[in-house]
Amino acid sequence: MKTLSTSPSAAAPAPVSWLGTPARRLWLLLALALLASLYFMTSQVQAEWSFVLPLRGKKLATMWTVAFAIGVSTVLFQTVTNNRILTPAVMGFDALFQLIQSVLAFTLGVAAMQIPELSRFGMNVGLMVLLSTSLFVWLFRGQASNLHLLLLVGIVAGIFFRSLNNFVWRVMDPNEFTVLQDRLFANFNTVSLPLLLLSLPAIALVGIWVWRQRHMLDVLALGRDVAVNLGVNYQRAVMGVLVVVAILVSISTALVGPVTFFGLLVSNMAYQLMHSHQHRYTLAGSVLLGGLLLVGGQMVLERLFGFNTSLSIVVEFLGGLTFIYLLVRKAKG
C-alpha cells in the first residue's frame, strides 16, 4: 500500500460491529437509497398523481444516472491513477466535453443541430475518448510523475478549457448559443428526455462491463508493477477503463453539466464506509452514496428551503472542503 498514502485503512474508524461486513453495510445503504427514492416520489403530492409521477420519475432517473456515472467514473479513475484525490472532473475532463460540444456547434453551425441526438452524442463521446486518452497518456508517460504537478496541470487545464469555452460562446451566433445552452446546462428539472433514454442503455452496458471486470480492477489497484506481474495486460486494461471513464463523464456532463468535486466526496465517503479495497464494494457503495446524497439533498433543498437548482452548488462547496481536507491530511502524513 505504499502508493496509497490516502488509503482509508490508515485513518478510518473501526466499523460498527453489528454492521461488521461490507456486504451488510451495502445492503443498509441500498435500503436507505430505496426509501429515499420512494419518499421522493410520493411525499407532498398536491397535484394529480398522473402528472406528478412521470415528472418526478424523470428527475429520479436522472439523479440515479448521474450518481452512477460520477460514482463509477471517479472510482475507476482513482484506481487507474492509483490515487484518491484525483477525479476526472478535477483533471478537467468535463470542461473538455463542454468545449468539444461548443466547438462542434460553432464550426458546424446549424448543421450540428440537425444531426440526430444519437449520432451527435456518439460523435462527442468519440472525440472525448480520443482527446482525453491522448492527454492522459501524455501526462502519465513519465514513470515518476509528480502527483501535485499532475493535479495542478489538471486544474489549470480545466480553467483553460473553460475560458476557451467562454471565448467560443462570445464568438458564437446568439441563436446557436441558445440551442447549445439548453444542451450544456440542463439541470435535474429540465433534462432532455431523449438524452436520458439514450444514457440508460449506455449505463447498463457500462455497468455490465465494469461488473465483469471487477476482479481485474482489484488487481489494477495494486499498481502497475504488481498488476503486470500478475499477468494483466496493463496497457489494454487501462485504455479500456479510460474509455469507460470518458463515456461516463460525457453522460453526466451532458445530463446535468459539470460538477467538479462531487465524485471526490462520494468516492472517499465510499472508501471510508465500505472499509474495503474490493471494487464490488467501493463501486456499488459510491453509486449508492451518490444517489442517496443527490436524492436526499435535492429533497432537503427543494422541500425544506424551497430552492430548485442549487444542489450542485452545495455539493461543490462540501466537495471542495473535502478536497482541502484530503490535501492537508496527505501533506501532513
Where on the chain is the footprint of another protein (CB under 8 A)?
Answer: 142, 144-146, 148-149, 151-153, 155-157, 159-160, 162-164, 166-167, 170-171, 260-261, 307, 309-310, 313-314, 316-317, 320-321, 323-324, 327-328, 331-332
In whole angstroms, the minimum distance from the beta carbon of 39 to another protein comes to: 25
Contacts of 277 (CB under 8 A, 6+ apart): 9, 218, 221
Taking only Cα atoms into account, the Rg of the chain, rounded to an integer number of angstroms, comes to 20
- Separation in Å, CA 179 to CA 170, 176, 184, 186: 14, 5, 9, 11
Cβ-count burial of 128 within 10 angstroms (0-12 exposed, 13-18 middle, 19+ buried)? buried
Smallest distance from the beta carbon of 178 to another protein, in angstroms?
15
* Residue 53 beta carbon to another protein: minimum distance, rounded to whole angstroms: 29
231/333 with CB nearer another protein: 333
Q: Which is nearer to another protein, 164 or 196 (CB)?
A: 164
* DSSP for 84-146, written as a single string: SS--TTTTTHHHHHHHHHHHHHHHHTHHHHHS-HHHHHHHHHHHHHHHHHHHHHHHT-STT--
**Shortest distance in whole angstroms from residue 262 CB to another protein:** 12
Contact of 25 with 19, CB cutoff 8 Å: yes
Q: 49 or 138: whose CB is closer to another protein?
A: 138
The residue among 166 and 233 lying less far from another protein, judged by its C-beta, is 166
Closest distance between another protein and the C-beta of residue 242, in Å? 21
- Judged by CB, which is closer to another protein: 30, or 327? 327
CA distances from 284 to 276, 290, 297 (A): 12, 10, 19
Minimum CB separation from another protein for residue 41, in Å? Answer: 26
Residue nearer to another protein on the CB measure, 95 or 295: 95
Q: How far is the CB of 288 from another protein (least distance, A)?
A: 25
From the centroid of its chain, how far is CA 314?
16
The amino acid present at 22, given as its one-letter code, is P
As given in the structure block, the three cell numbers for residue 224 are 502497475
What's phi and psi for 304, nearest 5 deg? Answer: -90, -40
Using the minimum distance from each CB to another protein, give the nearer residue, 204 or 328.
328
